[in-house]
Amino acid sequence: MLRALHSAASGMEALQISIDNIAHNLANTNTVGFKQRRTQFQDLFYQTLVSPGSSASSSTEIPTGLQIGLGTRAVSNEIILRQGDFVRTENPLDLVIEGSGFFQVRLPDGQIAYSRAGNFHLDRNGSLVTASGNPLDPQVSIPQGASEVTVAADGTVSVRLPGQNESQPVGNIQLATFTNPAGLNNIGKNLLLPTASSGEPVTGTPGQNGIGTLLQGALESSNVNIVEEMVNLIVSQRAYEAGSRVLRAADEMYQEVNNLRR
């Protein structure tokens, strides 16, 4: 019965993590470029009380034995990279990656972080920066007085300068891909950092070598599916309830044992 108490507790603990994860997903339904995470569970260890095939007597064998599991644990919550819906904004500095790939963003400490959020702005020097002010890498600067900023599918940024009829290219946006993008490390603010399991970033021109293309004037909304998360919430809550029932059952059985001698 002690095992039952711990198994039930392990299940409840894992479900708490799952509910925390659902809460985080649901809180980010309006975050541009947000990718939902999904909790995965696995069974813990097993205790073999009677091993199958051990002899019950000199001539018979126990056919199945007795193995009792010791509960569960939340093993991972991987990033689900499903594409989010596109929302048209008509803002020239709003970009969407159609397909795989990440924008490269330079952090204040010089490190490169990766992001799917394409809501860019101009800083006072005319550089393209993220909503939190980190510049794109390689940097793209829009000269003063330029109008009609266009971003082509392959990442070429062109502008029209005053007094000129033709638009001029002023920079290129490059994207990075990973062997295992689900293994990236979330650091908040829509940013991800590479890890040993994600592999090294491979940078390239959008539209080449399987990298996605860019689309201007739209944003990729969060890929959290509210209905799915609600279903997960119900399932997790009910399973939590079941765990607490088991705890109560074990508790009552203990009571029964304690009452054996009065």
241-260 residues in contact with other proteins (CB under 8 A) are: 242-243, 245-246, 249-250, 252-253, 256-257, 259-260
Residue 49 makes contact with other proteins by CB under 8 A: yes
Q: Which of 147, 210, 226, 234 binds other proteins (CB under 8 A)?
A: 210
* 58 contributes a contact to other proteins by CB under 8 A: no
Could you tell me which stretch among 4-12, 110-118, 125-133, 153-161 binds other proteins (CB under 8 A)? 4-12
- Considering the complex, what minimum distance in angstroms separates the CB of residue 18 from other proteins? 7
Count of positions on this chain that bind other proteins (CB under 8 A)? 75
Q: How does 110-146 read in b/e, with b if 16+ C-beta sit within 10 Å?
A: eebbbbbbbbbeeeeeebbbbeeebbbbeebbbeeeb
CB of 60 to other proteins, least distance (A): 10
Q: Does 233 bind other proteins (CB under 8 A)?
A: no
Q: Is the peptide bond before 92 cis (omega within 30 degrees of 0)?
A: no
Could you tell me where the beta strands, DSSP code E, fall in 93-242? 95-98, 102-106, 112-115, 121-122, 128-129, 147-151, 156-160, 168-172, 175-177, 185-188, 191-193, 202-204, 213-216, 218-220
In the window 77-136, what residues touch other proteins (CB under 8 A)? 78, 80, 82, 100
* Residue 23 binds other proteins, judged by CB under 8 A: no
Give me the helices (H) in the chain, please: 2-27, 226-258
- Using CB under 8 A, which of the segments 12-20, 87-95, 106-114, 132-140 binds other proteins? 12-20
CB of 23 to other proteins, least distance (A): 16
| Rounded-to-integer distance, Cα 115 and Cα 146, Å | 27
Counting contacts by CB under 8 A, is residue 65 touching other proteins?
yes
Q: How far is the CB of 124 from other proteins (least distance, A)?
A: 38
Query: Site for other proteins (CB under 8 A): which residue of 23, 68, 226, 230?
Result: 68
Q: Is 230 in the site for other proteins (CB under 8 A)?
A: no
Counting contacts by CB under 8 A, is residue 208 touching other proteins? Answer: no
Nearest residue to 219 (alpha-carbon basis) of 148, 101, 133, 119 = 119
Cα 98 from chain centroid?
18
* Residue 215 · residue 96 · CB < 8 Å: yes
3-state secondary structure at position 110 = coil
DSSP label at residue 181: G
Between CA 144 and CA 176 the distance in angstroms is: 29
* Identity of the residue, 119 or 223, whose beta carbon is nearer to other proteins in the bound complex: 223
Question: Contact region for other proteins (CB under 8 A) — 39-47, 116-124, 139-147, 159-167?
Answer: 39-47
Q: Which of 115, 190, 198, 213 binds other proteins (CB under 8 A)?
A: 198
Q: 142-181: which residues touch other proteins (CB under 8 A)?
A: 177-180
The whole-angstrom separation of Cα 239 and Cα 236 is: 5
